């Protein structure tokens, strides 16, 4: 009987010890999960409060811009409709500017065709600018590798007509939006001011339809200077 009793006692002790071990491991797991969940909710500002900037390695950068993947996805969906609606509006708005900057070697300049193409611009970042103005200042960085269909009807002083295609447009820049004044009625601002704050890159190619633009001296250089002036 003594041996039986000792065996039962040892078995019960092992069961109790195993149960306590599992309870302890379960408690540590719950504590770790709570800690991970807390860290996952931390913002950049929380990180800065916990550790000063001198303790971060050089490759850690806190960007002031927010990503806009959601906006790009929605823009891709509606771009065919934007292209249709904006093309005629841009044509009517830009042609007077083209005429204003028209080089003297040209007698007339106008669009015979203008569409924005099938590739939507991509917004790569957004920043909210802190200012003392009574309004909201927002900056959007945009990258656009466009495939538009733009044809210019160019008439020279010599009476020669040239249908010139503008193609392979590459543009990167920062646009600034200012919403002011702020008002109490929807949409909560009185007006929106729009401007190109920084032009980082602008590339394009010119091609005479059915010919070579370099065949007429000075035309290519004049057109390139004119187009750069119009978008500056």
pLDDT in tens, 10-20: 767 777 777 77
> Does 101 lie in the same domain as 215?
yes
pLDDT digits (tens, 9 = 90+) for 192-209: 888 888 888 888 887 877
| 145 falls within a domain | yes
| 59 falls within a domain | no
Tally of domains within the chain: 2
Kindly tell me if the per-residue pLDDT of 8 is higher than 70. Answer: no
> Does 164 lie in the same domain as 84?
yes
209/14 Cα distance (integer angstroms):
90
Residue whose pair of structure tokens reads 């001011």 in the numeric block: 193
| 177 falls within a domain | yes
Is pLDDT larger for residue 8 or for residue 36? 36
> Does 194 lie in the same domain as 227?
yes
| 61 falls within a domain | no
> Does 41 lie in the same domain as 92?
no
> Does 210 lie in the same domain as 125?
yes
Q: What length does the chain have? A: 232
Kindly tell me if the per-residue pLDDT of 2 is higher than 80. Answer: no
> Does 208 lie in the same domain as 120?
yes
> Does 154 lie in the same domain as 97?
yes
> Does 126 lie in the same domain as 18?
no
Tell me what pLDDT residue 62 has: 56
pLDDT bucket at 214, cuts 50 / 70 / 90: low
> Does 33 lie in the same domain as 89?
no
Kindly tell me if the per-residue pLDDT of 87 is higher than 90. Answer: no
| 152 falls within a domain | yes
Q: What is the mean pLDDT of residues 211-222?
A: 57
Tell me what pLDDT residue 10 has: 72
Q: Which residue in 93, 112, 107 sits closest to 230, CA to CA?
A: 93
Tell me what pLDDT residue 80 has: 92
Q: Is 231 exposed, middle or buried (0-12, 13-18, 19+ CB in 10 A)?
A: middle
Domain containing residue 39: 1-50
203: helix, strand or coil: strand
> Does 38 lie in the same domain as 114?
no
| 62 falls within a domain | no
| 20 falls within a domain | yes
Tell me what pLDDT residue 93 has: 81
132/128 Cα distance (integer angstroms):
13
> Does 95 lie in the same domain as 7?
no
Q: Is 135 exposed, middle or buried (0-12, 13-18, 19+ CB in 10 A)?
A: middle
Query: Mean pLDDT, the chain, as a whole number?
Result: 78
> With the CA atoms of 45, 51, 57 and 59 taken in that order, what torsion angle do they form, in degrees rounded to the nearest 10?
0
Kindly tell me if the per-residue pLDDT of 35 is higher than 60. Answer: yes
Are 123 and 174 in contact by the 8 Å Cβ rule? The answer is no
| 1 falls within a domain | yes
Q: Which residue in 15, 13, 17 sits closest to 5, CA to CA?
A: 13
| Portion of the chain with pLDDT greater than 70, in percent | 73
Is the entire prediction scored with pTM above 0.75?
no
198/175 Cα distance (integer angstroms):
7
Tell me what pLDDT residue 76 has: 92
Tell me what pLDDT residue 217 has: 53
> Does 216 lie in the same domain as 139?
yes
68/139 Cα distance (integer angstroms):
12
Q: What is the mean pLDDT of residues 151-171?
A: 82
109/99 Cα distance (integer angstroms):
7
């Amino acid at each position: 009987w003594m041996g039986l009793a000792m065996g039962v006692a040892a078995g019960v002790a092992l069961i109790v010890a195993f149960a306590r071990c599992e309870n302890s491991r379960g408690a540590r797991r719950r504590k770790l999960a709570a800690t991970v969940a807390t860290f996952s909710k931390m913002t950049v500002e929380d990180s800065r409060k916990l550790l000063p900037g001198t303790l971060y390695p050089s490759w850690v950068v806190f960007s002031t811009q927010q990503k806009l993947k959601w906006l790009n996805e929605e823009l891709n969906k509606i771009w065919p409709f934007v292209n249709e609606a904006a093309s005629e509006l841009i044509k009517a708005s830009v042609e007077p500017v083209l005429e204003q900057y028209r080089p003297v070697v040209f007698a007339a300049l106008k669009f015979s065709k203008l569409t924005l193409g099938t590739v939507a611009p991509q917004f790569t970042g957004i920043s909210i600018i802190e200012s003392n103005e009574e309004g909201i200042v927002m900056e959007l960085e945009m990258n656009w590798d466009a495939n538009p269909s733009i044809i210019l009807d160019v008439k020279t002083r010599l009476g020669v007509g040239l249908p010139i295609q503008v193609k392979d447009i590459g543009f990167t820049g920062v646009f600034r939006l200012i919403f002011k004044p702020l008002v109490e009625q929807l949409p909560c601002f009185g007006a929106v001011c729009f401007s190109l704050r920084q032009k980082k890159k602008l590339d394009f190619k010119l091609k005479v339809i059915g010919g070579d633009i370099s065949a007429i001296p000075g035309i290519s250089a004049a057109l390139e200077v004119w187009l750069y002036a119009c978008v500056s």
